[in-house]
Amino acid sequence: MTAVSVAESIEASEFMFMKYVADFNKSYGTREEFNSRMARWIEVDAFVREVNAPGSEYTHTAAHNKFSDFSEGEFKKMQGLKAKKVVSNEPIMLEDVPVNSGNDVNWVTGSSCVNPVQNQGNCGSCWAFSATAAIESSYCLTSGTNKLWKLSEQQYVDCATSKYYNFGCNGGNYTSAWNYNQQYGQMQESQYPYAGKDGTCSYVASEGEVSTTDGGYYLEVGGTSSKMMTAVNTKPMSVSIEADRLVFQTYSSGVITSSKCGTSLDHAVIVTGYVTSTSPNYWIVRNSWGASWGEEGYVNIGMSSGAGICGINSDPAQPFTQTWTA
């Protein structure tokens, strides 16, 4: 490549990066920051082009999004999953019941028991959003009330802390959050709104709406597709995945089936259904990065054996819920 063509390539990249800056309303304080953000964007752009190239090995499409100029360190802060610790009561185990393939389940379109996608912001609170979404849908579908509360993630962030092996914006686990819910009913978001940062616990027992049950407060689903489908046939399910790689970060549409997504669990999401009537079979997964990411906040992750694509088979679980009594 000649010096002229190199210069032209740099100019073209800067032009495209400037368009990205305008499209996503970005601003930077210094020329040095601009250059570092552009360098990262160019890396991401090369991967997006690789995924979308004709004849690509990938089964999904990629696109730039609000994370395309994030450093790897900044992006990893959003992956707030901590290892699961059962601190009281053993979970109930799900029996492996055969499920007929060819059927599809979608609780988003097939019920009124899934709230709209939310945005955790720069707080590593994915665990709180996964736990809350599972609680909301579980209560709506199993209480006999068909009542869909919008419950408070911030309550988990502020109150379900180190005693429960959770650390606010520095991470936690959905099963530990549900353990907290045995003693403390979850309040409505309108009463305890999301701040996207650590705060002082402001729990009011009389305003709690939903708790998990005594004894076995959650269902340990187990990492096979048949068990996971059996569980999702009843209600949405919390799962852990790896989300720090570009395969997941740049997801736009289609089905992720690439092993390059990894299996080192660092992010909590919720499975709201599955599709087995088409190939590849896949899980319908709700994320907490806002509706501008992926397919209006959702991602389709292919079904597979072992740890699963992005590690999705590794730690699926569902809470048992009841009306809270202070």
**Active site residues per annotation:** 126, 267, 287
Question: How far, in Å, CA of 242 to CA of 263, rounded?
Answer: 5
Only one residue has tokens 């049950």, namely 213
Question: How far, in Å, CA of 78 to CA of 92, rounded?
Answer: 30
Q: CA 64 → CA 220, 250, 301, distances in Å? A: 36, 6, 19
Question: How far, in Å, CA of 254 to CA of 320, rounded?
Answer: 32
Per-residue buried b or exposed e for 89-115, using 16+ beta carbons within 10 Å of the residue's own CB: eebeebeeeebeeeeebebbeebebbb
Q: CA 87 → CA 173, 217, 230, 268, distances in Å? A: 12, 11, 26, 19
Helix 3-23 vs helix 31-52: angle between axes, to the nearest 10 degrees? 100
Q: How many CB atoms lie within 10 A of CB 29?
A: 7
Q: Which two tokens stand for residue 35?
A: 């250059």
